[in-house]
Structure 1
Amino acid sequence: MYDDNSPFSPGTRKPEALKPVQKAAFAEERLMQAILWCELEPGLMIAEATLATRFGLGRAATRVALAKLSTLGFMLPIPREGWRVLPMSGALVGQVVDARRMAEPALATLAVDRGKNARLFELAGMIEAAGAAAEDAARSTCSGYERRFRTELASGLNPFVAGFVERLWDHSDRIVRFFESEGATPMPPLKAAAIARALDAGLTDEVRTLLDEAIDQFRTFAGNALLNNRSELALDGGSKPREKTSTQRQYDGSLKQGTDRAASRGLTVSKGNSS
């Protein structure tokens, strides 16, 4: 009997290979998720080839993805060494907090239609249900619903502003996941239902207050986690010698040239105190 589903059927075509732009997009998304979930831990030094092998990606796609993640601030190129995942620090937390305080007030002035309002209340109910459970899996589920709630809010913003706010939330989520994985007390759930009610009633000031409270909550959480972190602070990696500046290298070269000229004339040059 003739089988239309047979791989030898004339109508069956071989799946098309991904185009380079699709491979790069896939690589970017895979590496981004690895960074946001701390699968690639903060501060990790890693080579491009190692990343490609670890995640089963092409070298060209990995290179393009790393360049994009670098512009977003999640990966730092280190000359002659490879790439470094953005480290975790108090300065980073402070920068994220300050940027969120500038960007998020725009959410308070959004007009909410009936469909958007229904989606916000639905997600708020899911957040409350997941936040009431004590299991670790429930906390992860609650975090996912919170992000969907925020994304639904941001969908009404100017696309450029929305993209900026989404990146700030990416950084915030990564910071929270990192410290919670280190044993920090979990961050309380977002007051999503209160935000949804205030938006529905057109209470702009109340929405702004609730958003500010959420930022303060994040700042307090990260600050306490940093204070209780037992990691030792080191200057430039502790024992690793600090790389000389261009001025120092130029000075060393000039000193060597002067010493060589003096030696060729039979003179002895005292180094003195070169520090």
Structure 2
Amino acid sequence: MYDHSSPFAQARAPGAEPKAAFALKRLRRAVIECELRPGTDCSEPDLAQRFGLGRAAVRTSLVTLAAEGLVAVEPRRGWRVAPVTGALIGDVIRARTAIEPGLAEIRLPHDTAAGLTALTRMGAALHGRDDRQALVTLRAADRQILDQLAARAGGLVGRWLDEAWNQADRIAAFFDLAGRHHQPVGREPLIAALAAGDAAAARSEIAAALTAFQDFATAALLSLPSSLDVAGVEDGRRRRQTGPATARGTRPDRSQRQGDIT
């Protein structure tokens, strides 16, 4: 997803903020962007060395990421990056469907709407391009727009939206590995509806964006190549129980990969 070369990337050097806060941002980004592949095991010492972070900061960050559903503790084994499965995709879609329509009640001031419109028009110029930098910039611009809307929702709703969108970004990044690239829908009609106070039109735009993401994720999941099936929970268990040779020779069928996405 986001990378250091994107004009929208805002990561700062360790000296610019507390080390623990920097460690959390860095590890969260590594998980969301699939720099740490879904379903893989990792240890605190390895993460500290790989990212140049302190052990204490890594441990604290992993506890926070576990609460966000991005990693899970593996007793006596360390940590495991949460796999991307049909069940996860279904959960994310249901969560977004339950929460995001509430954004339709937001009323955007004129200056805020103008700024977001400029941002979405910048992204619109990148639609249809398949190079990585264009995709990174387009997704980052879209996430900036969503983050500003979530900030206006505030409180728990804003936090829930942030966590749901982080998972959605991770799902999109995971499917990038398989050559299936999700491009966000244009947000200009949504911004116009919010600026005009047209909640019905805003809800319609939100629903259309959710449907587009669900359609993409469903099709991408069903076409998942066997080389990425290692991200599944059951495959990870097979690898630990029977060794890598058995796991490589086993591929879940379509119903197993889809899970309860619908």
Q: TM-score, normalised by structure 1?
A: 0.76
> Do the aligned partners of residues 198 and 51 (structure 1) sit closer, same or farther apart at CA in structure 2, a change above 3 Å counting?
same
Deviations 1:146-196 (A, max 9, x none): 001111211211222111101111110110111022111x22432211111
Higher Cα radius of gyration? 1
Contact 1:46 1:83 in 2 (8 A): yes
Which residue of 2 is the match for residue 238 of structure 1?
238
Where do residues 212-227 of structure 1 align in structure 2 (5 Å cutoff)?
A: 212-227=207-222
Cα distance in 2 for partners of 1:145, 1:241 equals 43
How many pairs are equivalent? 224
Which residue of 1 is the match for residue 133 of structure 2?
137
Which residue of 2 is the match for residue 204 of structure 1?
199
Higher helix share: 2
> Do the aligned partners of residues 236 and 46 (structure 1) sit closer, same or farther apart at CA in structure 2, a change above 3 Å counting?
closer
Amino acid at match of 1:93: I
Specify which structure has the bigger relative contact order, considering alpha-carbon pairs within 8 angstroms and separated by 6 or more residues: 2
Identity among equivalent positions (%) equals 35
1:88 aligns with 2:90: no
2:119 paired residue among 110, 116, 123: 123
Cα distance in 1 for partners of 2:222, 2:15 equals 47
Contact 2:184 2:209 in 1 (8 A): no
1:73 aligns with 2:69: yes
1:157 paired residue among 149, 153, 156: 153
Secondary structure of 1:76's partner? strand
Contact 1:35 1:74 in 2 (8 A): yes
1:195 paired residue among 190, 193, 201: 190
Which residue of 2 is the match for residue 268 of structure 1?
none
1:33 paired residue among 11, 15, 29: 29
Deviations 1:8-61 (A, max 9, x none): xxxxxxxxx979x92211111110111111110001101111111111111111
Cα distance in 1 for partners of 2:240, 2:42 equals 17
Contact 1:155 1:162 in 2 (8 A): yes
Following TM superposition, by how much is the alpha carbon of 1:75 offset from its aligned partner in structure 2, in angstroms?
1.0
Cα distance in 1 for partners of 2:236, 2:38 equals 16
1:44 paired residue among 26, 35, 40: 40
Following TM superposition, by how much is the alpha carbon of 1:222 offset from its aligned partner in structure 2, in angstroms?
0.8
Deviations 1:108-139 (A, max 9, x none): 00011112111121111111112254432111
Cα distance in 1 for partners of 2:130, 2:48 equals 37
Secondary structure of 1:77's partner? strand
Amino acid at match of 2:196: A
Cα distance in 2 for partners of 1:87, 1:95 equals 13
Amino acid at match of 1:218: F
Cα distance in 1 for partners of 2:239, 2:147 equals 44
Secondary structure of 1:57's partner? coil
Which residue of 1 is the match for residue 7 of structure 2?
none
Contact 2:31 2:70 in 1 (8 A): yes
Runs of 4+ in 1 over 3 A off after TM superposition: 232-236, 239-242
> Do the aligned partners of residues 49 and 92 (structure 1) sit closer, same or farther apart at CA in structure 2, a change above 3 Å counting?
same
**Greater mean alpha carbon deviation, residues 158-167 or residues 98-107:** 158-167
